[in-house]
């Protein structure tokens, strides 16, 4: 498909309880590269990401997410999408360039689930340690900690996810890839949306409390890397929530764990390629167990009930 409009997830700002401890965790356990520090915020990228940062940690009195941002094609696209959002009835705010390090103007808005979403077109490209000319397939940073290749997606919790889906599809150009139905066979429990050929770029679960984060996901290259991540989590006494296992939804292999502030994160591999003309995959309530955890075939209630 032609890549235009919204390109990909670009960054998340995550609230952490102790910034210094979190910098150590995301550097040495998760294996991200710190690219900046300014006041109560620290900036990180994965070793194979080219833009300045994909994760911002902000010291705060509670855990959770401040905002999730998507990169768009160019300044003209940013302006058009802002106008489209306004015409749809969504109030937007322009965040000035430089508010985040090495990042241009951002358009921020609140969606029906209570989350702050951003669009931006400009962020400094710092490249990868391998360079862009005759690069090796990996570098020393790929061996530091879990070492994901990118921040991949987020799963967010909130109400009115049908309104969220309509906004993402009708205005931002996403499409529905998979969904899980509740017992009535009509209402969605969860939706997976893509703006690319990935199985998902963002997902939502219906929840009474608005604006909550279930997890941030980091992409690994293979099932072997997922198993290595499990070893490193155990070696560093990281609290593992679930896995290693496989999802029915997306077919991805996965581990869920918690950082030192209680924010859940996922180390994810796989997931099929998809396109907008492919009909959405439906999971019914009687198969919700294998939809989420295909091997166990049952859903751990704590997996749904714990979020930040």
* Distance between CA atoms of residues 40 and 22, nearest Å: 12
The full DSSP string for 117-136 is EEEES-B-B---TT-SSS--
Question: 200 — alpha (psi -120 to 50), left (phi > 0) or beta?
Answer: beta
**Active-site option among 52, 120, 266, 307:** 266
Say which of 82, 179, 215, 307 is annotated catalytic.
Answer: 215
Q: Would you call 266 a catalytic residue per the annotation? A: yes
Query: For this structure, is 294 an active site residue?
Result: no
Annotated active-site residue in 118, 200, 214, 307: 200
Tokens 């951003």 locate to 118
Catalytic residue status for 115: no
Among residues 52, 53, 214, 247, the one annotated as catalytic is 247
* Other CB atoms within 10 A of residue 105 CB: 18
Maximum C-alpha span of the chain: 55
- Name the active-site residue from 153, 179, 214, 307: 153
In Å, what is the CA distance from 148 to each residue of 18, 26, 162, 176, 232? Answer: 23, 11, 32, 26, 13
User: Is-catalytic flag, 143?
Assistant: no
- CB distance 180 to 299 below 8 Å: no
Q: What residues are annotated to the active site? A: 153, 200, 215, 247, 256, 266
């Amino acid at each position: 498909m032609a890549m235009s409009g919204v390109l990909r997830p670009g960054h998340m700002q995550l609230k952490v309880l102790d910034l210094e401890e979190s910098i150590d965790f995301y550097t040495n356990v998760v294996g991200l590269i710190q690219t900046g520090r300014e006041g109560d915020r620290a900036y990180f990228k994965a070793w194979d990401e080219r833009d300045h940062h994909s994760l911002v940690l902000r010291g705060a009195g509670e855990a959770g997410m401040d905002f999730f941002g998507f990169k768009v094609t160019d300044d003209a696209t940013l302006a058009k999408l802002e106008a489209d959002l306004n015409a749809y009835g969504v109030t937007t705010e322009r965040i000035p360039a430089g508010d985040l390090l090495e990042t241009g103007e951002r358009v921020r808005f609140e969606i029906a689930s209570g989350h702050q979403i951003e669009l931006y077109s400009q962020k400094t490209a710092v490249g990868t340690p391998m360079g862009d000319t005759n690069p090796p397939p990996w570098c020393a940073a790929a061996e530091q900690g879990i070492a994901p290749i990118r921040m991949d997606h987020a799963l967010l919790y909130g109400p009115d996810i049908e309104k969220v889906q309509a906004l993402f599809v009708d205005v931002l150009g996403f499409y529905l890839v998979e969904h899980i139905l509740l017992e009535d066979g009509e209402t969605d429990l969860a939706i997976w949306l893509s703006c690319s050929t990935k199985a998902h770029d963002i997902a939502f679960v219906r929840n009474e409390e608005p604006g909550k984060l279930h997890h941030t996901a980091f992409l690994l290259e293979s099932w072997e890397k997922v198993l290595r991540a499990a070893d490193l989590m155990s070696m560093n006494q990281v609290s593992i929530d679930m896995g290693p296992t496989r999802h029915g939804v997306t077919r991805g292999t996965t581990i869920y764990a918690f950082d030192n502030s209680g924010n859940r994160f996922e180390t994810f591999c796989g997931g099929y390629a998809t396109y907008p003309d492919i009909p959405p995959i439906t999971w019914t309530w009687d198969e919700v167990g294998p939809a989420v955890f295909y091997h166990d075939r049952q859903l751990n209630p704590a997996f749904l009930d714990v979020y930040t």
